[in-house]
Amino acid sequence: MNILENISLKPYNTFGIDKTARFFVVVKSVDELKGAIQWANHQKVNTLILGGGSNILLTQDQQALVIKIELEGIEVVREETDSVWVEVGAGINWHEFVLTSIENNWAGIENLSLIPGTVGASPMQNIGAYGVEIKDVFHSLKALNMDTLELEEFEAERCAFGYRESVFKHDLKGKYVISSVIFRLGKTPTFHTEYGAIRETLEASGIKDLSIKAISDAVIHIRQSKLPDPKEIGNAGSFFKNPTIPVTHYSSLKQDYPLIPGFPLPDGVKVPAAWLIEQCGWKGKRFGDVGVHSKQPLVLVNYGNGDGADIKDLAEKIQQSVWDKFNVPIHPEVNFL
Catalytic residues, by residue number, are 164, 238, 333
User: What residues have CB less than 8 Å from 179, skipping those under 6 apart?
Assistant: 30, 33, 71, 89, 90, 120, 142, 143, 144, 151
**What are the φ and ψ backbone dihedral angles of 37, each rounded to 5 degrees?**
-65, -40
Position 86, amino acid: V
Q: Are the C-beta atoms of 143 and 112 separated by less than 8 Å? A: no
Which residues, 6 or more positions from 26, have their beta carbon under 8 angstroms from its beta carbon? 2, 68, 70
Edge-to-edge strand ranges of the sheet holding 244-245: 244-245, 268-270, 263-265
Look at residues 4, 10, 6 and name the one whose alpha carbon lies nearest to residue 234.
10
The DSSP line for 202-241 is HHHTT--S--HHHHHHHHHHHHHHHS--TTTSEE-S--BP
Separation of alpha carbons 301 and 239, rounded Å: 10
**Helix residue ranges, H only, the chain:** 30-43, 94-103, 122-125, 156-159, 198-204, 212-226, 247-256, 273-279, 308-326
Instruction: Please report, to the nearest 10 degrees, the dihedral formed by the alpha carbons of residues 267, 273, 278, 283 taken in order.
Output: 180
CA torsion, points 134, 139, 142, 143, in degrees to nearest 10?
Answer: 40
Element (H, E) at 89: strand 83-89
Find out whether 289 and 302 touch, Cβ atoms under 8 Å.
yes
Length of the chain: 337
